[in-house]
Amino acid sequence: MQIQKNYNLSKLNTFGINVDAKFFAEIETEEELRELFSDPIFKENKKFFLGGGSNILFTKDFDGIVVKISMLGKKIIEENEKTVLLEASSGENWHDLVTYTVDKNWGGLENLAFIPGTVGAAPVQNIAAYGGNFSDVFESLLAFNVDTGKIKKFNKEECKFGYRDSIFKKELKGKYIILSVRIRLVKNPRIETSYYQIGIARDSIKDELQKISKPPYGIKDVYQAVINIRQRKLPDPAKIPTVGSFFLNSIISREKYQELKKQVPELQCYPLDQLHYKNLEDPELQNENFVKVATGRLLQELGWLGKWIGNVGVHDRHALIVVTNGKATGSEVVNFAEIIKKSYYDHFGIKLETEVNFI
């Protein structure tokens, strides 16, 4: 483990923002973490823990130590005829882990295929996509307290998972390094195919399955369907600088949703905490006073789809996604987002929240 000075971070964040960290270290083992922990530079400086850099926006040079978490490894902790308890280290690539489990026909991660980033970041914002939620398979995690050096086990309840949210994004932000995660997968999986989208980028898992396979469909088909849809709809961060969804879907009252639906009849809504695809009449939503609304569709209504100001723009297939031409600074992205937020508030009277972590 080596602490480097004035380290450029442009290749370590998918927005490609060109900033430096005053100090930088990469840790591949727990021993290296202990070594780092005992170093005065670590003790005395502001810290930021980095995975794949696919959900962060550096707004300026980082005046502290950036620690890249690169611990690798996975192992089976428990296995019976029905389930497998798998432990993966935080530096593992998320999509590679999904592929590994799908190849074994262990169900639970297939809808979360092709999400960039690392295993250690998955609990931080409780990643979710296409009807799959990380919290559905999560069992526990081990995390290193950066003040005391002690390792703590967090169970599901303690993580306080929510929509793109957990205790690690709020109360315990920056207090723990997640070392490894345990997930429970099933050997006789039931497939989740509820995802659909109407409007400009009309698609659904069911339609995609029909195109690529024949029933009875399995998790490998769902995995491939999700990858195909994502490749069509989302920018590839290796080619187009982005962090995926920059904004969150807004949480609004049922009445507000019904009012907006008069303007945008195909406007979709979802339950608050879990990502499932239901309509307002579904039992899961029937008694809810609040819903999450498809904010990308509302931004599209305001003309933001594919719109650029200088070096920053909105993706032309998904209006929650901010992209750049690779020349943007962090503050240009922030200013662009502020303009979008203002137009959303002025038009709909709703505060637009961001998903990305500003550093």
Distance in Å, CB of 262 to ligand FAD, minimum: 29
* Known catalytic membership, residue 245: yes
Q: Is 33 in the site for ligand FAD (CB under 6 A)?
A: no
Out of 121, 201, 328, 333, name the contact with ligand FAD by CB under 6 A: 121
Q: Is 21 in the site for ligand FAD (CB under 6 A)?
A: no
Q: Is 357 in the site for ligand FAD (CB under 6 A)?
A: yes
Out of 33, 66, 69, 285, name the contact with ligand FAD by CB under 6 A: 69
Q: Is 237 in the site for ligand FAD (CB under 6 A)?
A: yes
Q: Which is nearer to ligand FAD, 100 or 254 (CB)?
A: 100
Distance in Å, CB of 214 to ligand FAD, minimum: 27
The answer to whether 122 and 180 have CB atoms below 8 angstroms apart is: no
The span from the CA of 165 to the CA of 22, in Å, is 29
Q: Which is nearer to ligand FAD, 50 or 267 (CB)?
A: 50
Q: Give, as ranges, the residues between 88 and 107 that touch ligand FAD (CB under 6 A).
A: 90
The span from the CA of 63 to the CA of 88, in Å, is 31
Distances (CA, A) of 44 to 23, 36, 49, 63: 11, 12, 15, 12
Q: Give residue 310's identity as a one-letter amino acid code.
A: G
Out of 122, 142, 167, 229, name the contact with ligand FAD by CB under 6 A: 122
Q: Which is nearer to ligand FAD, 49 or 138 (CB)?
A: 49
Q: Which is nearer to ligand FAD, 50 or 191 (CB)?
A: 50
The answer to whether 54 and 237 have CB atoms below 8 angstroms apart is: yes
89 phi/psi in degrees, rounded to 5: -75, 155
Distance in Å, CB of 307 to ligand FAD, minimum: 19
Q: Return the structure tokens found at 249.
A: 């879907």
User: Which residues, listed in sequence order, are joined to residue 308 by a DSSP beta bridge?
Assistant: 313
Out of 16, 107, 108, 116, name the contact with ligand FAD by CB under 6 A: 116
Question: Of 70, 90, 245, 250, which residue is the catalytic one?
Answer: 245
Q: Is 127 in the site for ligand FAD (CB under 6 A)?
A: yes
Q: Is 50 in the site for ligand FAD (CB under 6 A)?
A: yes
Q: Which residue is associated with the tokens 């890249």?
A: 68
Which residues lie below 8 Å from residue 255, measured CB to CB, with a gap of 6+? none
The span from the CA of 272 to the CA of 148, in Å, is 35
The span from the CA of 67 to the CA of 48, in Å, is 6
DSSP 191: P
| Spatial CA neighbour of 67 closest among 155, 178, 196 | 178
| Spatial CA neighbour of 92 closest among 110, 113, 74 | 74
Q: Is 224 in the site for ligand FAD (CB under 6 A)?
A: no
Q: Is 228 in the site for ligand FAD (CB under 6 A)?
A: no
* Known catalytic membership, residue 164: yes
Q: Return the structure tokens found at 288.
A: 């809810």
Largest Cα–Cα separation, the chain: 60
Q: Is 205 in the site for ligand FAD (CB under 6 A)?
A: no
Q: Is 129 in the site for ligand FAD (CB under 6 A)?
A: yes
Distances (CA, A) of 102 to 54, 106, 185, 221, 227: 23, 6, 10, 10, 13
* Known catalytic membership, residue 54: no
Q: Which is nearer to ligand FAD, 51 or 296 (CB)?
A: 51
Q: Which is nearer to ligand FAD, 165 or 254 (CB)?
A: 165
Q: Is 14 in the site for ligand FAD (CB under 6 A)?
A: yes
Q: Is 244 in the site for ligand FAD (CB under 6 A)?
A: yes
Question: Of 26, 164, 182, 208, which residue is the catalytic one?
Answer: 164
Which residues lie below 8 Å from residue 143, measured CB to CB, with a gap of 6+? 151, 152, 154, 168, 176, 177, 178, 179
Q: Is 178 in the site for ligand FAD (CB under 6 A)?
A: yes
Catalytically annotated residues: 164, 245, 355
Where on the chain is the footprint of ligand FAD (CB under 6 A)? 14, 48-56, 69, 90, 115-118, 120-122, 124-125, 127-129, 168, 177-178, 234-235, 237, 242-244, 357
